[in-house]
């Protein structure tokens, strides 16, 4: 009896797949240009890239670390980020869900 339930359940898990997230931890510096001069600090910088779901169906592209870093850069006009870290956030309200990659760091002009 257990085999009749376990095998289809295992196949279902394998077919549905699991998504993996890109992440960064304890990154010392991300520079956007070749200028090595020290910059003026602008304080904490945050950027995110999200994917939305309606009734379990994705209505946007999967979140990427590249897009989250680009979002942090565009919002704050920084030349480089220091002490960068990422986290995976989101929520699931059954009808609508959101999955995000958030980038945080200290920005410099």
Summarised one tens digit per residue, pLDDT across range 36-94 is: 567 788 889 999 999 999 998 999 999 988 899 889 888 888 888 888 888 999 999 98
Are 97 and 91 contacting, i.e. CB atoms less than 8 angstroms apart? yes
Q: Can you give the pLDDT at residue 60?
A: 92
pLDDT bin (cut points 50, 70, 90) of residue 22 is low
Going by C-alpha positions, the residue among 105, 99, 97, 55 that lies closest to residue 75 is 105
CA distances in angstroms from 100 to 13, 24, 53, 75, listed in the order given: 23, 14, 11, 17
Paired sense of beta strands 27-31 and 80-92, if any? antiparallel
Q: Can you give the pLDDT at residue 13?
A: 45
Going by C-alpha positions, the residue among 24, 39, 34, 22 that lies closest to residue 76 is 39
Going by C-alpha positions, the residue among 47, 30, 25 that lies closest to residue 100 is 47
CA-to-CA distance for 9 and 84, rounded, in angstroms? 40
Q: Can you give the residue ranges of every domain in the chain? A: 20-108
The matching CATH number, chosen from 2.60.120, 3.30.110, 3.40.50, 3.90.550, for 20-108 is 3.30.110
Of residues 81 and 11, which shows the higher confidence score? 81
Q: Can you give the pLDDT at residue 17?
A: 45
For residue 12, pLDDT beyond 50: no
Look up the pTM and report it: 0.68
For residue 3, pLDDT beyond 80: no
Q: Can you give the pLDDT at residue 74?
A: 86
Q: Can you give the pLDDT at residue 16?
A: 44
């Amino acid at each position: 009896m257990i085999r009749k339930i376990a095998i289809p359940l295992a196949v279902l898990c394998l077919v549905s797949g699991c998504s993996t997230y890109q992440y960064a931890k304890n990154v010392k510096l991300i520079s956007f240009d070749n200028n090595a001069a020290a910059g003026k600090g602008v304080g904490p910088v945050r950027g995110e890239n999200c994917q939305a779901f309606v009734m379990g169906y994705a209505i946007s592209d999967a979140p990427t670390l590249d897009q989250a870093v680009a979002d942090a850069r565009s919002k704050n006009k920084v030349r480089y980020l220091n002490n960068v870290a990422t986290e995976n956030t989101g929520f699931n309200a059954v009808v609508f869900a959101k999955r995000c990659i958030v980038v945080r760091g200290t920005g410099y002009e």
